Structure 1
Amino acid sequence: MDNSKKTDEFYEKLKSQLYDTATWPSTYLYKFIVLTKSPGVNHIDSLFDNLGAVITTTESKNGKYTSVSINVKMQTPEAVITKYKEVTENVEGVISL
């Protein structure tokens, strides 16, 4: 199975779970990992600009990676997924959790 199909199936499952577990609009917690020395943290920050997001970062013990946690009110599960796709398409080397 190609990665595109796996990704589509993942997002469809996520959307279903989000509808089943929350009342929308709802606050959603995004988590990403990027290389500390990359522009990834700033890029992710800019993608959530003007959404009222609370963003916290934590460097790994050895300082190689940075965890980015974002609490933000989203209107629908589709909006959550759109933002995931926007981050993964625009931030090189990002890992979504």
Structure 2
Amino acid sequence: MEILQGNNHASPEDFYNSLKEKLENNHDFPEDYLFKFIIPTDEAKITEIYKVFDGIKFTMSNRESKNGKYTACNISAFVLDADQVVFIYQEVAKIENVILL
């Protein structure tokens, strides 16, 4: 799972618990939250990410890298609480070759 690279947490569970705590301390939910991902340039991958946000009000902007191999994907979504943010990250992390920022 790419999100754990360079992270000092021993497990994904530790990482997500720490993330939830930081979100609760630094955000005033409900609010628009900006998710950022790097994905291989592939419509199927973008569609998989869209599915994670199904039923959530969001806007998405994409920008391909210079060589077109990767796409930066920014999604601003209205989320109700830190649990929803963590859930979205967990679902996107299941998509192969997606880097969570």
TM-score above 0.5: yes
Q: CA deviation at 1:88?
A: 1.2
- The CA RMSD over aligned residues, in Å, is 1.7
- TM-score normalised by structure 2 residue count: 0.84
Structure 1's unaligned 5+ residue stretches are none
Where in structure 2 are there 5+ consecutive unaligned residues? none
TM-score normalised by L of structure 1: 0.87
Aligned length: 94
Q: Identity across aligned pairs (percent)?
A: 34
* 2:18 is the counterpart of 1:9: no
2:89 aligned counterpart, secondary structure: helix
Match of 1:70 in 2: 75
Q: Of the candidates 6, 18, 34, which is equivalent to residue 23 of structure 2? A: 18
Hey, which bits of structure 1, 4+ residues long, moved more than 3 A?
none
Inter-partner Cα distance in structure 1 for 2:25 and 2:82: 10
Are 1:58 and 2:51 an aligned pair? no
